[in-house]
Structure 1
Amino acid sequence: MKRTAPSDAARQRGFTLLEMLIAIAILAVIAVLSWRGLDSIIRARATITNSMEDERVVAQLFDQMRIDARQAATDDEAGQPAVSIDNGSLQIVRGMFAVGAPPRLQVVRYRLSDGRIVRFASPPLANVGEVRRALSSSDTADGWNAVQLMGGVASLASRVYIPQKGWTTRMNDVFSQINENDNNLKVPQLGNAPLPRAVSGIQVAVGARNLAVPITRVFMVGE
């Protein structure tokens, strides 16, 4: 029996409706999976970017604190404790050294205000009298500048290290150490030796709403 060739209509038969529905369903699943994967990548990238920005801000804050602590004046130069702490604040009397200009002093204060750590800095000060006036003045006095260093902060805690005595949050301990150092200098065999620093270290702990525990750093004073 002679075979007949398939007709053009049979050779050109397209997809059935069921096959089209199955293909569309497969494409929909692939699209959903692809979108979820892309969304996860975008979210992860945003998280990494935010984390890197947070780390940069924290590093900038602590770097500035380290510089201020390293350039802290002596208690003699400040006419009172060069490093002072209070609830949510840190104050340092530091030296300013510029090329072609005589050395000056400056009062800097780190305060927690409305969830932000702000660094207030006085204008350059030429003598102890000007330092005392700056210490008793407000952060908003003429010549002071303020720089916001970090936001989203829940707490700012500081304590100081007194040689041979350890860490303390009490300024009375600092004043007692200054008096002790001053009395020791009156012993004849010590002559005109400089007054030792009452505070040799500062510990700062910054707590943020997105941190399980505060970030803590220790800075040497005058080193």
Structure 2
Amino acid sequence: MTNSSRARGFTLVELLVAISILAIVAVLGWRGLDGIVRARVALTQQMETTRGMQLAFAQMQSDCEHIAQRDVVDQRPYLLVGADRLTLVREVFMENQPSRLQVVAYRIVNGTLMRRESQPTRDLVQLDALWQAVTSDADTNPAVALQTGVTGMQVATWLNNSWRQGGVDPGANAAGTGQQPVQSQQPDLPAQVSNEPTGLQVALQAQNLQQPMVKSFLLGEP
């Protein structure tokens, strides 16, 4: 048997080339897998945030549907909006019990949307004390965390055919004449001017959402 008929193996150069190709394929595969995992984690976080926001909006909707009416609280303030906060008085209905009033506050504390509610009462004098405690951040009732990672909350009220943002002046009006209109949805009409808002719009901004989630509610209507 001659040397030319012998089976020849891989040379060192061929082995190095093969190893290099395998290494490149492995790196590309790892990067692709890492990108898929990162995208899945980000998507899961966004879905969890969206679900948490929806639950928070559902709670807000319940509070807005049961907001106290003017004839119940007389001339007392029942709605206060501001930067990253919302305070309102709602009616509480329990089986075989008369309706009572409760002060509810939404706040953003250290990136977490918190909800705090006072003890229900039928005493308007006690309601005044509860309102004062909540609006001055002196309420000691435990707060419930609704959603983490919230960076901001903007609240607007629907009043006289326009959305209005800004602080509410309880002294000037219990529902919101201290607000400034930001946009009008309808042309000016010779309708009767009202000082009572009929709607509320809440926009929540989260860390992992590019756009805020916005929800509008009717006040006092399911």
TM-score by length of 1: 0.75
3-state SS, counterpart of residue 120 of structure 2: coil
Contact 1:161 1:201 (C-alpha < 8 Å) held by counterparts:
yes
Query: What is the distance in 2 between the residues matched to 1:39 and 1:27?
Result: 18
Corresponding residue for residue 29 of structure 1: 24
Judging changes above 3 Å, is the alpha-carbon distance between structure 1 residues 172 and 18 closer, same or farther for their aligned structure 2 residues?
Answer: closer
Corresponding residue for residue 197 of structure 2: 199
For 1:45-56, what aligned pairs fall within 5 Å after superposition? 45-56=40-51
Query: What is the distance in 2 between the residues matched to 1:73 and 1:157?
Result: 22
Corresponding residue for residue 99 of structure 1: 95
The answer to whether 1:125 aligns with 2:121 is: yes
For 1:31-70, what aligned pairs fall within 5 Å after superposition? 31-70=26-65
Contact 1:73 1:222 (C-alpha < 8 Å) held by counterparts:
yes
Q: What's the CA shift string for 1:179-211, capped at 9, x where partnerless?
A: xxxxxxxxxxxxxxxxx9822111222334555
Shift of 1:74: 0.5
Judging changes above 3 Å, is the alpha-carbon distance between structure 1 residues 53 and 66 closer, same or farther for their aligned structure 2 residues?
Answer: same
Q: 1:72 aligns with which of 56, 67, 89?
A: 67
Contact 1:92 1:108 (C-alpha < 8 Å) held by counterparts:
yes
For 1:133-212, what aligned pairs fall within 5 Å after superposition? 133-138=129-134, 139-142=137-140, 144-162=141-159, 164=160, 166-168=162-164, 169=166, 171-172=168-169, 175=173, 198-211=196-209
Judging changes above 3 Å, is the alpha-carbon distance between structure 1 residues 108 and 116 closer, same or farther for their aligned structure 2 residues?
Answer: same
Q: What's the CA shift string for 1:56-104, capped at 9, x where partnerless?
A: 1221222211111011110222332322223432111112222343322
Shift of 1:212: 5.0
Q: What's the CA shift string for 1:11-47, capped at 9, x where partnerless?
A: 4x43222222222122112111111111111111111
Structure with more of its chain in helix, by fraction? 1
Contact 1:75 1:197 (C-alpha < 8 Å) held by counterparts:
no
* Overall identity of the aligned pairs, in %: 35
Contact 2:155 2:201 (C-alpha < 8 Å) held by counterparts:
yes
Aligned-residue Cα RMSD (Å) equals 3.0
Query: What is the distance in 2 between the residues matched to 1:61 and 1:49?
Result: 18
Rg larger for: 1
3-state SS, counterpart of residue 201 of structure 2: strand
Shift of 1:135: 0.8
Judging changes above 3 Å, is the alpha-carbon distance between structure 1 residues 14 and 170 closer, same or farther for their aligned structure 2 residues?
Answer: closer
Corresponding residue for residue 189 of structure 2: none
Contact 1:83 1:199 (C-alpha < 8 Å) held by counterparts:
no
Give the gaps of 5 or more residues in structure 2: 177-193
